[in-house]
């Protein structure tokens, strides 16, 4: 007789229908199929869906809303240099929060204010869901990669766009658990000259309907 507990668990976790039968061989197949998806659970569900294309669309719209007046802002951000995507994103998210808190304040209820709050909540949710661990400042200090920039608000937001696009690409294409340990990568090394910012190309298509 089929084990009802096993059959229920199999349907729930795998999402496939078990063909009725009493042969011992079929029960063995069930156990083998059950093991495959469980070992592939790499990134928790809330993290897989923590960031969506909607967040990038909101950020794109916020960039479009910036005045092209030649004004500039001074802020601290992370220069990527040789950092991997994982360690660059981990080091940069706290700086994104700081950037928004200091330089991007709008009238409550406006579209720009809503976009800023949405991105801030996105990052806070990433931390609260333990999708990315907070920096352990005793072991992981990316100060060697911190740079002060004097740029237009558009350029600053383009940096944010790059970081979030990298994170979205990471969690939607990774099939193995992400190792967020970055102690070695943050170890100070010979500094390179500060280069002008050129947005990196990431194959994510964004369309804004006006």
pLDDT tens for each residue of 72-86: 999 999 999 999 999
Residue 57: pLDDT band (50, 70, 90) is very high
Contact between 139 and 183 under an 8 Å Cβ cutoff? The reply is: yes
Q: Residues for the chain: how many in total?
A: 210
Better-predicted residue by pLDDT, 4 or 87: 87
Distance, in Å, from the CA atom of 30 to the CA atom of 156, rounded to the nearest integer, reads 53
Give the tens place of pLDDT for each residue, 8-18: 433 333 343 33
In 3D space, the residue among 71, 73, 72, 75 whose CA is nearest the CA of residue 147 turns out to be: 75
Please give the pLDDT value at position 99: 97
Give the tens place of pLDDT for each residue, 149-197: 999 999 999 999 999 999 999 988 887 888 999 999 998 764 444 445 5
Average pLDDT over residues 112-125: 95
Please give the pLDDT value at position 45: 61
Contact between 186 and 145 under an 8 Å Cβ cutoff? The reply is: yes
Residues 6+ apart with CB under 8 A from 87: 142, 182, 185, 186
Contact between 41 and 20 under an 8 Å Cβ cutoff? The reply is: no
Please give the pLDDT value at position 142: 94
State whether residue 150 is helix, strand or coil. strand
Q: Widest CA span of the chain, in angstroms?
A: 76
Contact between 142 and 60 under an 8 Å Cβ cutoff? The reply is: no
Distance, in Å, from the CA atom of 123 to the CA atom of 196, rounded to the nearest integer, reads 26
Whether the predicted pLDDT of 27 surpasses 70: no
Give the tens place of pLDDT for each residue, 134-145: 998 888 999 999
**In this structure, what token pair is assigned to residue 31?**
């156990």
How many whole angstroms from its chain centre is CA 117? 17
Report the top-level CATH class of 45-173: mainly alpha
Please give the pLDDT value at position 106: 93
Whether the predicted pLDDT of 38 surpasses 50: no
Distance, in Å, from the CA atom of 63 to the CA atom of 161, rounded to the nearest integer, reads 9
**What are the structural domain ranges in the chain?**
4-39, 45-173
Distance, in Å, from the CA atom of 41 to the CA atom of 35, rounded to the nearest integer, reads 11
């Amino acid at each position: 007789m089929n084990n009802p507990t096993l059959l229920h668990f199999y349907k729930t976790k795998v999402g496939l229908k078990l063909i009725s039968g009493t042969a011992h061989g079929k029960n063995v197949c069930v156990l083998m199929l059950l093991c495959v998806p469980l070992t592939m659970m790499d990134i928790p569900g809330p993290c897989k869906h923590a960031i969506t294309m909607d967040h990038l669309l909101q950020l794109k719209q916020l960039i479009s809303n910036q005045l092209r007046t030649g004004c500039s802002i001074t802020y601290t951000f992370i220069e990527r240099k040789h950092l991997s995507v994982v360690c660059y994103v981990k080091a940069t998210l706290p700086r994104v929060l700081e950037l928004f808190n200091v330089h991007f304040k709008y009238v409550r209820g406006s579209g720009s204010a809503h976009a800023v709050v949405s991105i801030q909540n996105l990052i806070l949710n990433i931390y609260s869901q333990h999708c990315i661990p907070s920096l352990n400042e005793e072991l992981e200090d990316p100060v060697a990669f911190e740079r002060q920039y004097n740029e237009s608000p558009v350029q600053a937001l383009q940096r944010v766009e790059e970081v979030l696009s990298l994170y979205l690409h990471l969690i939607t294409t990774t099939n193995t658990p992400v190792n967020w340990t970055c102690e070695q990568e943050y170890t100070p090394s010979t500094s390179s000259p500060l280069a002008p910012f050129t947005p990196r190309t990431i194959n994510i298509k964004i369309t804004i309907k006006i």
